Chain A
Amino acid sequence: MADHQLDPTKWVDKYSDYLYNYTIVKVNDKDVAEDIISETFLAGLKSMKYFKGEASERTWLISILKRKIIDYYRKINSKKGKAEVRVNYNDAEEGGDWLEERVADPFDRTAEDDLENTELGVAIYACIDKLPEKQAAIFKKKTIEGQDTETICKEFNITPSNLWVIIHRARTTLASCLEENWL
């Protein structure tokens, strides 16, 4: 039974920030993260026919993303390995802990507090995802991008009091969504 459906035209708006927060801690580089997410969406597009509708769209995209992140580390690790063979191990006499030097553990790179903060970022985006689309868009612009009220009102063609009602609803929903684990 296909409970969930895919709509690639909305992927970027709905999931890119969530996926980005998820990725950035794991790769620690803005450009790499952006590339990986772009690849993830394209791969998703290609394998749409295999989507069974059992998981939510977001869960499905995350599973693709995870594989892409692993691929990325495989790639850079194999490059590093080759370079080290050439530079350090051309002398057969010389030993060395080849494996240990080669592998950079991706999950060991960030300081612990950083890691916690990113998990928090992912949690926040997961909660934002539950808001109605327009509410989420306005809340993100106001709160995370820090745009001023006037600019947002113009963009969405709403009055300031509309905006504050939307913000109020979004904040109430978010607070209860985050309450269990974080507040």
Chain B
Amino acid sequence: MKLFVDCKKAGHLCDKGQYKDASLFDKLKVRFHNMICKPCADYSERNAKLTKLIKDSKCKQMSEDCKKRIREELARELQKGEA
């Protein structure tokens, strides 16, 4: 296990960190890398902002049930149109 990682790996771990898929050690690696790498530090900052933005927006998804219902309804209507 090495503490210092390259940019590609740091970016990957940073992405994972946005989803709670990164371990504490992973996060530490990103921190260390970011100290010596400005572009990656910027990327991390932007990435974190995006995560916060999506969280704040309380983006809602339509329920799968409802989507299914509408899909079926549309399919029925389309068939009617063709007949």
Q: Mark B16-60, 1 if CB is under 8 A from A, else 0.
A: 101101000000000000000000000000110110011011111
* A120 x B53 contact (CB < 8 A): yes
> How many A-B residue pairs lie within 8 Å, measured between CB atoms?
94
Q: In whole angstroms, what is the CA distance A16 to B57 when docked?
A: 17
* B50 x A171 contact (CB < 8 A): yes
Residue A57 interfacial (CB < 8 Å): no
How many chain A residues sit at the interface, stated as a range, is 35 or more
Contacts of B12 in A (CB 8 A): 164, 168
* A121 x B60 contact (CB < 8 A): yes
Q: In whole angstroms, what is the CA distance A179 to B43 when docked?
A: 13
Of A4-12, A61-69, A85-93, A100-108, the one contacting chain B is A4-12
How many chain B residues sit at the interface, stated as a range, is 20 to 34
* B59 x A175 contact (CB < 8 A): no
Residue A42 interfacial (CB < 8 Å): yes
Min CB distance A153 to B, Å, is 12
Contact of B74 among A45, A125, A140, A183 (CB under 8 A): A45
Q: Which residues of B line the A interface, CB within 8 A?
A: 11-12, 15-16, 18-19, 21, 46-47, 49-50, 53-54, 56-63, 66-67, 69-71, 73-75, 77-78, 81
